[in-house]
Chains A and B, each alone.
Chain A
Amino acid sequence: MDRLRFLLRRVGRFAVSLFALFALTFLLVHFVPGDPVRASLGLLAPQELVEARRQELGLDRPLPEQFARHVAALARGDLGTSLSVRRPVSEVIAERLPATLALAGGAMLIVVLAGTGLGLAAAAVGAGGRRPGADMAFNATSGLLTSTPEFVTAVALTSLFAVALSWAPVAGRGGAASYVLPTLALALGPAAALARVVRTEGLRVLEEDYMRAARARRLSAWRLYAVHALPNCLTAALTVSGLILGGLVAGTVLVENVFAWPGLGSAIVTAITQKDYPLTQGVILVLGALVLLINFGVDVLITWLDPRSALARH
């Protein structure tokens, strides 16, 4: 029963966050100092065009009415019309979202699998300070990867594998090979960050009485680590995963720009520089909603895997 109430509260929080995100993106254009339409069309645009655009965007109406129209439009799946390419924003997003999702999804898979696997392995190898050398190597490598931003990783991977070795395409989205470098660029840092958390948690878990009891039963390494230790590390791993994977979604913006990846990230940069407010609003709304969805999904997963600790945390 507690679990259900907890889940309902999470759903409520998700809904409130989504609404706040929506309201903020709606207000974006109103926060712009001066006249956003004039800024977007340039100083030389004729006044009639500015007036027409203002009307098209509904900016001539009172704020509450604008908001109501905005909500109604969203319910129809209408996010307005892009000022720069003169096409419905929803169409541009629908065209580019799959590329971003494929990139982010692949990277998340790598982050979760490699992060937990390597973190737990590092904990198993270094438990009790038995191998200071291995510990130091893990800490140095993961520390370096964690503090390397994704766009730097992307540039480094490109110059090494695409340019120097010609193993992978330099840019663009094509066959499976074109996914390798962008996905790695996006995944390496977050995977290292997650591995560090899992290792710390793993070291704690391996010292628990139930792990000593499991060792007393002389189980296989697989059962010892995968069946007994891993589930107890997962709650902590998941808790930080929400944060890490959310950051990964934002990271697509940078990585897509390095690899000329035809996703939302490359669209939003052009939209911001060209002051295409409807498109900017639409992309921020979608990326933001993706982040909130990930956080919500992680919360649900924690409740399902480890109801006691999720409820205790609350």
Chain B
Amino acid sequence: MDLTDPRWRDGRTRLGLAAGAALLALVTVGPWIAGEAAGTVRLDHMLEGPGPAGLLGTDELGRDILARVVVASRLTLGLGLVATLLGASVGVLVGALPAVTPPWVGRLIATLTNLALAFPTLLLTLFVAAILGAGAQSALLAIALAIAPIFARLTHTLAAGVGGADYVTAARALGARPLTILARHVLPNIAGPLVVTAVMAMGGAVVVLSGLSFLGLGVQAPAYDWGGLLNHALGRVWTDPAPALAPAAAIVFTGLALSLAGEAASILLGLSPVRRRPPPAARQAPASSLLSAGGLLDIGGLDVEVADARGAPLRIVKDVSFSLRAGERVAIVGESGSGKSMTVLAAAGLLDGRATASAALATFGAAPLLGARATADERRLGGEMPVIFQDPLAAFNPLLPVGVPLVEVGMRHGGLSRPAARARAAERLGEVGLIDAARRLTQPPHAFSGGMLQRAMIATALMAEPRLIIADEPTTALDVTVQRQVLERLGAACDETGAGLLLISHDLAVVAETCERVLVMYAGRLVEDLPVADLVSGPAHPYTRALLDCLLGPDADRGKPLPVLEGRPPRPEEEIAGCAFAPRCAFADARCRIETPQLAVIGARRVACWRPLQVRRAA
């Protein structure tokens, strides 16, 4: 038992174990302490309210009610436990039967189990109670019978899952008999979920038993359980509520404690995931290199952190600064995991709760992008900075017609009435090349191909007046044949509206055709920012060079295999000293491995490298 295991450290495990222990103490020690007070008849203290004769009052024979509630825990929980064990045993047997019987028996059992599960436990219990009459034994049997179908179905489902496992197949091939397989291989492997369910079912059994006794159908006087005590106290609730509240609280506590204990068992057995701690709050923005302002989009010193599996913060975007002029088309390139998507989502203010962004500067026009925004700014962003996502099928709401986003943008940001927005939506869909656009607007997304949906997303971007279109790998999820079409559409959309473009891609060929400037990212940092023209003539950062070589081949010799960049980028949790690319870089020296290079301006570009490559002037 390793107490440092995160399963033991999870708060829910501790809470569940504590609640279970408290319940156990109540049943074992409680009656031993309170037994005498619960049984002593004191005719001079009949029906008293809370006072010296009883903390919660006395009953019609002067007996201490609190003591009686404590003593009743043994009968209540005992009956609940026996009913659960009985019901679980019957259920497991019935549920395991299909493994050893002909298939039609299995189907019959499954049908009957499902039928029984359609009815609430209490109704089944009332049915059995009607047959057997009122009393503790019949209540116990009734609850056991009502619980059994739950275990029958669970066993059936779990056994079917295990039945296909390799070791069961192997045992069968070795000639083991079905019963042996069941006892040796199947049941031990499904014991965990059964135990967890049993703990939780016992909570339910106690509640139903209390309900039956409360109705007068369960435990009969002179024996008493919590339901009986509650029923008894109800008669005087308008003069004295205290005697009713004690058994009520006991029933609720038991139900809660057993459900918490079940959850703890589930975590300890590895059936439920350990809860992750929430991510840390945003930190103070770091001192940043080379802030520039006055563009359309200005980002300075952007950091993004996410929480790892243990809840520790991971910095996945580090001190990124860039600026876009109005109408400028800029690409962000890098391998997957380089932080390019996170950078752009943070810039668009669209990170979800698990990631936190901080920046010294983040503005679009005059609107701040991080933190609180005025409503007017917020609304401007929706029309002026549309976002096109990677997977078009996932980006359309599966339950709403494709036209909904278009009409929404037209109405909210384009200032149109609903009919006008519909008309413009049909027009825009037609412009991006969808035939029969008015009818297409009302169809669900699964009636479209990926390429058509991506064009519909471009049409959505054109519904108001876009000033900067953000596109996160817009063609990655698409068929190769339609990738070019979609990119051309995107370029045309920028031409027509004069909007700028921030395109994420890992395809330098696409970038070279579509954009004017390239931002290269590696391991969460911006390593080079250069005009597209310089990309071909000669990048300054060895990483950009390597990316380019992968695309073109060093001599563009088609006979040789394409060069592959050796090694892998560092994982976000790795501590990096110096330049993150140094381990893969052919030019790295001692300084590269110690000191992190900052972006420095060289001509029309910015490079973060201690040993930038010779920049050849374009011929």
Contact = CB atoms under 8 A, between A and B. Distances in A.
B122 A28 contact: no
B43 to A, nearest CB: 27
26 contacts: A32-B132, A127-B352, A129-B276, A129-B278, A143-B259, A151-B210, A151-B214, A156-B245, A163-B241, A206-B352, A207-B352, A209-B391, A212-B352, A216-B348, A217-B412, A231-B397, A232-B397, A232-B399, A247-B121, A247-B122, A250-B122, A251-B122, A253-B122, A257-B214, A280-B130, A288-B119
Residue from A132, A156, A213 with most neighbouring chain B CB atoms (10 Å)? A213
A268 B123 CA distance: 11
Interface residues on A, range: 35 or more
B120 A130 contact: no
A273 B122 contact: no
A246 B256 contact: no
A159 interface: yes
Given A213-B387, A232-B399, A308-B446, A284 B123 contact: yes
B248 A152 contact: yes
A152 B252 contact: yes
B134 interface: yes
B85 to A, nearest CB: 21
B279 A129 contact: yes
A55 interface: no
A82 B584 CA distance: 89
Given A209-B389, A212-B350, A272-B130, A228 B245 contact: no
Interface of A: 17, 20-21, 24-25, 28, 31-33, 39, 127-130, 132, 143-144, 147-149, 151-152, 155-156, 158-160, 162-164, 170, 206-210, 212-220, 223, 227-228, 231-232, 246-247, 249-251, 253-254, 257-258, 268-269, 271-273, 275, 277, 280, 284, 287-288, 291-292, 295, 306, 308
Interface residues of B, number: 68
Question: Which label, helix, strand, loop or mixed, suits the secondary structure of the A interface?
Answer: helix
Nearest to A275: B133
A219 B216 contact: no
Contact of B399 (A130, A159, A254, A306): A306
Closest 4 pairs between A and B when the two form their complex, measured CB to CB: A128-B353, A218-B382, A129-B278, A159-B241
B538 to A, nearest CB: 37
B418 interface: no
Nearest to A284: B127
Interface in B84-101: none
Given A32-B131, A127-B352, A218-B379, 5 more contacts: A20-B115, A24-B127, A155-B248, A218-B381, A271-B130
B238 A163 contact: yes
Residue from A20, A31, A272 with most neighbouring chain B CB atoms (10 Å)? A272
Given A155-B234, A213-B396, A147 B391 contact: no
B252 to A, nearest CB: 5
Given A20-B115, A164-B241, A128 B354 contact: yes
B256 A209 contact: no
Contact of B255 (A127, A149, A212): A149
A145 to B, nearest CB: 10
A306 to B, nearest CB: 7
B55 interface: no
Contact of A219 (B119, B122, B354, B382): B382
A247 B413 CA distance: 47
A210 B252 contact: no
A269 B217 contact: yes
Nearest to B377: A218
Contacts of B245: 155-156, 159
A129 B348 CA distance: 21
B25 interface: no
B138 to A, nearest CB: 10
Nearest to B111: A16
Contacts of A32: 131-132
Contacts of A160: 241
A216 B382 contact: yes
A112 B211 CA distance: 25
Given A20-B115, A129-B279, A232-B398, A152 B230 contact: yes
Nearest to A258: B234
